Structure formats: C-alpha cells, structure tokens
Structure 1
Amino acid sequence: MTNKELTHEQQEELIKTLKARFEKNNERHEGIDWASVQAKLDANPEKLWSLHEMEATGGEPDVVGYDAKTDEYIFYDCSAESPKGRRSVCYDREAWEARKNHKPENTAMDMAKDMGIELLTEEQYRELQQLGKFDLKTSSWVQTPENIRKLGGAIFCDRRYDTIFMYHNGAESYYAARGFRGSLRV
C-alpha cells in the first residue's frame, strides 16, 4: 500500500460521508443521482485518496456538476468557511521562498498539488457561491492569472454584504482566515 491509497475501511467511511452529504444537499447537484457518482468513484479509486484529503483538511467535498464532454463529476470544497486545515498559507512556492522571515508551513499551490486537486478559479468560486453562502468570515486563494503572478500578486475571494468580492494581495502574504478551496474531477 502506498501513502496515497486508502484502506478498505477508509474507503467505505469516505463513501458513506460523501453519500450523506450528497443526499443532504440536493440543490448542489440537481439531476445527478448518487448511483452514477458512486459507479464513477468505484471505477477511479485513486480519486478517493484526493477526496479523503479534501475531507481530512475540512473541505467537505460535494458534487457540484457533471461535465458531459469528459464524462466527469465535479467536486468542490463546500465547507461554510475556507477549509481549516488549509489556512495560513501563502500562494505558491516562489512566494514562500521570497519571504525573509516568518514563513508559513506551506503554500496553497503545493498543498493542492500534493492532494491531487486544483485551486478553484475565480469563475468556479463564483459558481460555488450560487449554491450557497460561503466564506462569510474567511477568504480563499483562487488560481491567479500569470500576468498578475509575474508582478508578485495573487488573488483571493470572499463573500461579504451578500456580494462576492475578488481582491489582490502579495502572493507571499498569509493570514489565519485565508485558505483555499479545491476542485476534483472524477
């Protein structure tokens, strides 16, 4: 067993958790049935490890869509606030290395890569906000366009005053209330 495999018991527990969340939040995935999602998970067990990591860091992953072109179900982190286990991170390795003092333990991009997921884009973040009210007290790094990143910046989003805001910050910054949300295709 490699470190990116789950035991049979872990797989069963995760499937049980995902199914319960799926059934509790039908408005996030209208027209999608759990049996089809489970069949896709059963056929792609390597994706369970990534979903387990999303769950373990507080992301509460749930199905938010289906891409008919690629025949993939799309999972996003649906925790009310930015996942607790992914906060206090700067944007990427370059930003981390640029910090002279008080480096955070990790970066959003490194964590996402290690977990086998992608940071949400701004567009995906706005789609998520159509499914509920997220990040009312926290904020989440989102994928930053290369032209902004080359200039030292990174972008993040949150929801305040019933409005979704996109902001900028130095990519090396990190805050206890800022993490990141991820997506996974199965």
Structure 2
Amino acid sequence: MTNKSSELTLEQRDEILTALKARFEKNMHRHEGLEWTKVQAKLEENPDKLWSLNEMEATGGEPDVVEYDLQKDEYIFYDCSAESPKGRRSVCYDREALEARKKHKPENSAMDMAASMNIEILTEEQYRTLQKFGPFDQKTSSWIQTPADIRKLGGALFCDYRYGHVFVYHNGADSYYGARGFRGLLKV
C-alpha cells in the first residue's frame, strides 16, 4: 500500500533527527535513563525506521521514545501528540469497513494508513501506558487494535481520556469522525 518512496533525502533525515532529538530532550520523563546518542545511532542504522518516524511526524503524531526493550535492544516510539494526530483523522477502522460503506466513504482507513507507514496501531494496554505520560486525547479519540471476535461482528474499539480516566468504547468499524484518528508505535 506504500505509494511514496521510503527513502529520505539528506535534508529530510537531518530535519527528522533534529525534531526527534528536541522532543526527546524536552520530555525526559518519558524515557528516564536513556541517552539520545544511542537512540540516534540505532536510527541511523535503520533508515527505513527513520522514514516511518518521518511519516509519523508529517501526519502530526509527534513520535517520541516511551519504552526500551532491553532483551530485544529496541527503542519503542509512540505518537505523543496531545490529541489524535491531525493528519490521521476522519478514517474508518480497516479496509473491510471502508469497502462496506455505500455512501460518504472516508478517504482511508486507520489500518491501511498504519500499514503504509510501516507502524502498528496501539493496543488498549499500550494506550493506557501512553496515558502515564499524558494526558492525551482530551478532545479527540483514537482507534486501537480490535480483537478479532469484535471485529468479526462489525465493531471496532477506540479510546480517549476524560475525567481523569481512559475510556474504551466501541463503534461500527465503518464509522469515522473528524475528531477520531489513530496513534501508532514503531520499534527500532
């Protein structure tokens, strides 16, 4: 589904690294004990992952490191924008839902967009983890990975943060709203 080149120009590479470094340094509470130089080295070894982070940034996700998996030696980036990424809103849940709509189809689906960016949509557990650094989605909501049994019946799950709590809701997978998008993660 990727329709863009997955290679960054030198200028794009420098811009995304500068943005990521600034966000990393500004939000040390998200990744205490981690060093930017090690994160940057890992990114430079994986230009395809840097491309995905650039896509996350370009769609308003404001990706930042929120976890480090010591066993796998992986830095895990989540979208950390205050609200659901602006460039990923007004989408239904997946391709099946998009094709099922007869009228007023959205331009895309969350699952297709995530696949085209080579990222994963957050699970409920990951969404709750993100909120430890938040609050996020106080005015918007974000699709999350939906269990197969729910999806099989036509539904999909989304979350938001209201009244000091994470709420998980359901909706028809073919629904879409201007204030609902999705948050992703990338392992580097």
The TM-score bracket by the shorter chain reads over 0.9
Residue-pair matches, total? 185
The alignment partner of 2:52 has SS state of helix
- The aligned counterpart of 2:73 is 71
In the alignment, which residue of structure 1 is the partner of 2:83?
81
Counterpart code for 2:135: K
Q: What percent of counterpart residues are identical?
A: 74
**Residue 56 of structure 1: aligned partner:** 58
RMSD across aligned positions (CA): 0.7
Following superposition, the deviation at residue 69 of structure 1 comes to 1.6
Q: How does 1:114-125 map to 2 (within 5 A)?
A: 114-125=116-127
Q: Secondary structure at the match of 1:173?
A: coil
Match in the other structure for 1:92: 94
CA distance in 2, matches of 1:42, 1:106: 31
Q: What are the Cα deviations for residues 65-123 of structure 1, in whole angstroms up to 9, with x where unaligned?
A: 10112110000000000000000000000001111100000000000000000000000
How high is the TM-score relative to the length of structure 1? 0.98
Instruction: Give the aligned residue type for 1:3.
Output: S
**Normalized against structure 2, the TM-score is what?**
0.97
Q: For structure 1, which runs of at least 5 residues remain unmatched after alignment?
A: none
AA of the residue aligned to 2:100: A
User: In 1, distance between residues paired with 2:176 and 2:42?
Assistant: 36
The offset of 1:31, in angstroms, is: 1.0
Give 1:95-134 correspondences, 5 Å limit: 95-134=97-136
CA distance in 2, matches of 1:45, 1:95: 32
Q: Deviations over 1:42-71 (max 9, x none)?
A: 111111110000000000000001011211
Match of 1:171 in 2: 173
In 1: Cα distance, 2:156 partner to 2:119 partner = 19
1:22 aligns with 2:28: no
CA separation in 2, counterparts of 1:173 and 1:9? 38
Give the match for residue 184 of structure 2. Answer: 182
What SS does structure 1 have at the residue aligned with 2:159?
A: strand
SS at match of 2:68: strand
| Secondary structure at the counterpart of residue 66 of structure 1 | strand
